[in-house]
Amino acid sequence: LPDQDFSQQAHIPSFQKVILSPSFSLSTDSSTLYRFQYQEMYKRSIEDPSGFWSDMASEFYWKKKWDHQVCSENLDIRKGNINIEVGNHISFIHMQHYRIHNQLMGFSQWFKGGVTNICYNCLDRNIESGNGEKIAIHWEGNEPGVDDSLTYNQLLDRVCQLANYLKQNGVKKGDSVIIYLPMLMELPISMLACARIGAVHSVVFAGFSAESLEQRIIDCKPKIVITCNAVKRGSKIINLKDIVDSALSESSQNGVCVGLCLTSANESAMKREATKWIKERDVWWQDDVPKYSTKCDVEWVDGEDPLFLLYTSGSTGKPKGVLHTTAGYMIYTAATFKYAFDYKQSDIYWCTADCGWITGHSYVAYGPLLNGATVVVYEGVPNYPDPGRCWDIVDKYKVTIFYTAPTLVRSLMRDGDEYVTRYSRKSLRVLGSVGEPINPSAWRWFFNVVGDSRCPISDTWWQTETGGFMITPLPGAWPQKPGSATFPFFGVQPVIVDEKGKEMKGECSGYLCVKTSWPGAFRTLFGDHERYETTYFSAFPGYYFSGDGCRRDKDGYYWLTGRVDDVINVSGHRIGTAEVESALVSHPKCAEAAVVGVEHEVKGQCIYAFVTPVEGVAYSEDLKKSLVLSVRTNIGAFAAPDKIHWAPGLPKTRSGKIMRRILRKIASRQLDELGDTSTLADPNVVDQLIALADS
Ligand code: PRX
């Protein structure tokens, strides 16, 4: 808890000092939080979580209030003895994977027994409070000049039509629906329509390949897949329908039968007539959905009913289906959005993330809409037609809160200030960063050039699993240190432990864990609660383990230092090394592969692959290309390795374990830091790898 007086800021090294003077005005609204208020609220959130979160929850509509207990949890198997009932109202297949066990690790429930609906709270509730004519979504197309918008009233109409359509086509509460869409308005509409009828959406980022999509379809067996024919990203056209067709034809071989593929015609990318069509299965959204009524009753759900499933990478080849439930997620995304961005009703908010990732779920769709915000949704890429596009959009919509990723900041920084300064940007008042640690030089450029040295930066640390922000500045509440995510959000108790799991106090660095549950916490990994327990709760018993390294400085600020597991963070996208390796070894000419992350100027980290071809296959540029293609088709273009390094052998211990530490050093050419290689089964491989470094 930051209990020192920061007003003098004398303890902050001057290069990190960012003075936010008292006149630094976030807005004219007096609800802006100051440090002492944060401290009081934080203290209460820890000492009286039930009271604290009940108050936050009371802003929302509940058909029925939750049972007496706001939260029940068991982060530690040693604490044990929590009885879990599995309610029979839960139709969702995934719930059967909650083991009925009285000592379920990692288990937590929030607002159990409460009956609500997140779509109702995003739309109907805001309309009833007089915001029906407020713009909910400004949609900006890939091409400048192509745009659209929806008020809250119009958004509700569109959501209800789709919800009725889904119901009519057999989607019931608890069924899953896969959404494979780019950033069209249809994407948040689809998510909200599922939520309205209690269906569980699983959005798959439209950059994933047919194989990845197929894997997810086989895993969660959706009733319907929602897609569009094509998307234009920058000057490139991607035919999404072809990818879906291929995924569906493969998954039907695996016993999954998706009866219906609802396809939105994105005519600015591809004409309808050019789209391949399977008559018995495919339906054009624009033809059928608008025929349905704009009124659709809400399916009231239990606070613990599942809301969505989102796949993310882990340290094995199989992606993890992170399951979030309704009420805790709803309260948490709403509260974090409001406080971390100092949200006011007059704000225009733009988050550059895609809804295919958690940031898009929580901070393009749910968090802002729950607050009745006006959200900008952008279809295209940030540097099309030129690197000034973001600031053009900021000026066009008078964006006040701009939330993005360090990789974008670094890439725009490289293009030069002129693309930024030619736009006014005077509407901006709060900036945000997410996805990876933001390096101080990018932070300063973001602050000084983009924000004209007047907008605080909320560097939000969180994860797919956490649902919402965990460690984040609250704008203006305390001095910022470039590169630090600062302090925990309400209700979050971060701890840093050593490798033995011992909690460290004060200034230290180690593994970042969290003590006690928070409302936005995911509840399980779909179909594999055991993996949930072992991945997150067994490494350091008694805590949730994030997989990140972290340092706490003498002022109590938290500094995230990156993943400590086999996960690479490329341009803010989380990619498991094992996934890339299995894509590489699926190539017939690849005998073995080992993948590591290496620092990259723009992407943060890039993928560096050591590959051993099968006996007798020669190294060649063509083979490199075809190996990269194998990753593109197995996972998606965003996971393509930047470098293939030929490896006659890999450095392994005598028990056969690949020593990635050594590979990381070779990949980053830190050859004098290879450390002890004598424990390797064959120390010669290291010299061979060094010799092949530039081939
Ligand atoms: O390593 C951390 C990094 O991104 C990981 C979570 O990735 P994902 O689940 O895909 O969610 C990304 C968007 C929330 C974390 O384990 N990460 C995320 N935000 C930050 C960060 N690292 C440092 N600083 C951040 N602000």
Mean pLDDT of 268-285: 95
pLDDT digits (tens, 9 = 90+) for 293-328: 999 999 999 999 999 999 998 877 789 999 999 999
Q: Which pair of structure tokens corresponds to residue 309?
A: 């499933």
pLDDT digits (tens, 9 = 90+) for 29-75: 444 567 778 889 999 999 999 999 999 999 999 999 998 789 988 76
d(CA 323, CA 210): 22
Q: Give 139-207 as a DSSP string.
A: EE-SSTT-EEEEEHHHHHHHHHHHHHHHHHTT--TT-EEEEE--SSTHHHHHHHHHHHTT-EEEE--TT
Q: Whose CA is nearest to atom 15 of ligand 1?
A: 463
d(CA 54, CA 300): 19
Q: Which pLDDT score is estimated for 104?
A: 61
Q: Give 86-127 as a DSSP string.
A: --TT---GGGGGS---TT-TTEEEESTT-EE-HHHHHTHHHI
Query: Which residues make Cβ contacts (< 8 Å) with residue 519, sequence separation at least 6?
Result: 53, 71, 110, 111, 327, 328, 329, 331, 332, 467, 491
- Over 60: is that where the pLDDT of 14 sits? no
Q: Is the separation of the CB atoms in 597 and 617 below 8 Å? A: no
Coil/strand/helix, residue 39: helix
d(CA 274, CA 530): 46
pLDDT digits (tens, 9 = 90+) for 410-461: 999 999 999 999 999 999 999 999 999 999 999 999 999 999 999 999 999 9
> Which of 49, 77, 70 lies closest to 532 in space, CA to CA?
77
Residues tagged active-site: 565
Exposure of 208 in the CB half-sphere (CA atoms within 13 A): 31
52 exposure class (CB count in 10 Å sphere: 0-12, 13-18, 19+):
buried
Mean pLDDT of 226-237: 96
Question: pLDDT confidence of 93, banded at 50, 70, 90?
Answer: very low
Q: What totals of helices (H) and strands (E) does the chain contain, helices first?
A: 21, 31
Question: pLDDT confidence of 99, banded at 50, 70, 90?
Answer: very low
Q: How many CB atoms lie within 10 A of CB 565?
A: 17
Query: Which residues make Cβ contacts (< 8 Å) with residue 144, sequence separation at least 6?
Result: 385, 389, 392
Q: Which pLDDT score is estimated for 270?
A: 95
Q: How far is the CA of 463 from the centre of ligand 1 (A)?
A: 5
Q: How far is the CA of 363 from the centre of ligand 1 (A)?
A: 14
Higher-confidence residue of 457 and 108: namely 457
8 exposure class (CB count in 10 Å sphere: 0-12, 13-18, 19+):
exposed
User: How long a stretch of residues is the chain?
Assistant: 695
The number of the ligand 1 atom at minimal distance from the alpha carbon of 357 is: 10
Q: How far is the CA of 658 from the centre of ligand 1 (A)?
A: 26
The number of the ligand 1 atom at minimal distance from the alpha carbon of 574 is: 10
- Over 70: is that where the pLDDT of 11 sits? no
Q: Give 218-285 as a DSSP string.
A: HHH--SEEEEES-EEETTEEE-HHHHHHHHHHHHHHTT----EEEEE--TTTS-GGGS---TTTEEEH
Q: Which pLDDT score is estimated for 223?
A: 94
Ligand 1 pocket by C-beta < 6 Å: which residues? 312, 358-359, 434-437, 459-464, 485, 546-548, 560, 563, 569, 574
Angle between helices 621-634 and 577-585 (to 10 degrees): 120
Q: What angle do CA 208, 214, 220 make, to 5 degrees?
A: 110
Angle between helices 152-168 and 186-196 (to 10 degrees): 60
For residue 564, what is the DSSP state?
Answer: S
Q: Give 439-466 as a DSSP string.
A: PHHHHHHIIIIISTTTS-EEEEB--TTT
d(CA 363, CA 335): 11
The number of the ligand 1 atom at minimal distance from the alpha carbon of 547 is: 16
Q: How far is the CA of 64 from the centre of ligand 1 (A)?
A: 35
Q: How far is the CA of 205 from the centre of ligand 1 (A)?
A: 17
- Over 90: is that where the pLDDT of 25 sits? no
Pocket test for ligand 1, best of 461, 511, 605 (most atoms within 8 A of CB): 461
Mean pLDDT of 586-610: 96
Q: Give 375-440 as a DSSP string.
A: EEEE-S-TTSSSTTHHHHHHHHHT-SEEEE-HHHHHHHHHT-THHHHTS--TT--EEEEESSPPPH
- Over 60: is that where the pLDDT of 480 sits? yes
Of 7-11, 222-226, 588-592, which gets the smallest average pLDDT? Answer: 7-11
Q: Is the separation of the CB atoms in 496 and 513 below 8 Å? A: yes
d(CA 354, CA 188): 11
Higher-confidence residue of 546 and 92: namely 546
d(CA 284, CA 287): 5
Q: Which pLDDT score is estimated for 257?
A: 86
- Over 60: is that where the pLDDT of 87 sits? no
- Over 80: is that where the pLDDT of 95 sits? no
Question: pLDDT confidence of 189, banded at 50, 70, 90?
Answer: very high
Q: Is the separation of the CB atoms in 673 and 662 below 8 Å? A: no
Pocket test for ligand 1, best of 434, 525, 603 (most atoms within 8 A of CB): 434
* pTM given for the model: 0.92
Mean pLDDT of 193-199: 98
- From residue 95, give the alpha-carbon distance in Å to each of 84, 91, 307, 401, 531: 12, 8, 12, 38, 15
Mean pLDDT of 613-617: 96
Q: Which pair of structure tokens corresponds to residue 408?
A: 């974008």
What is the bridge-based pairing of β-strands 643-646 and 604-613? parallel
Exposure of 442 in the CB half-sphere (CA atoms within 13 A): 26
Query: Could you give phi then psi for residue 646, rounded to 5 degrees?
Result: -65, 135
pLDDT digits (tens, 9 = 90+) for 524-574: 999 888 889 889 998 998 899 999 999 999 999 999 999 999 899 999 899
d(CA 156, CA 294): 8
Q: Whose CA is nearest to atom 10 of ligand 1?
A: 574
Question: pLDDT confidence of 252, banded at 50, 70, 90?
Answer: confident
Mean pLDDT of 398-421: 97
d(CA 451, CA 440): 15
The number of the ligand 1 atom at minimal distance from the alpha carbon of 465 is: 9
Q: Whose CA is nearest to atom 12 of ligand 1?
A: 435
> Which of 486, 276, 582 lies closest to 261 in space, CA to CA?
276
Q: How far is the CA of 624 from the centre of ligand 1 (A)?
A: 30
pLDDT digits (tens, 9 = 90+) for 497-522: 999 999 999 999 999 999 999 999 99
Higher-confidence residue of 520 and 13: namely 520
Question: pLDDT confidence of 107, banded at 50, 70, 90?
Answer: confident
- Over 50: is that where the pLDDT of 80 sits? no
d(CA 360, CA 382): 16
Q: Whose CA is nearest to atom 5 of ligand 1?
A: 463
d(CA 97, CA 38): 39
Q: Which pair of structure tokens corresponds to residue 245?
A: 């067709």
Whole-number average pLDDT of the chain:
90
Q: Is the separation of the CB atoms in 645 and 667 below 8 Å? A: yes
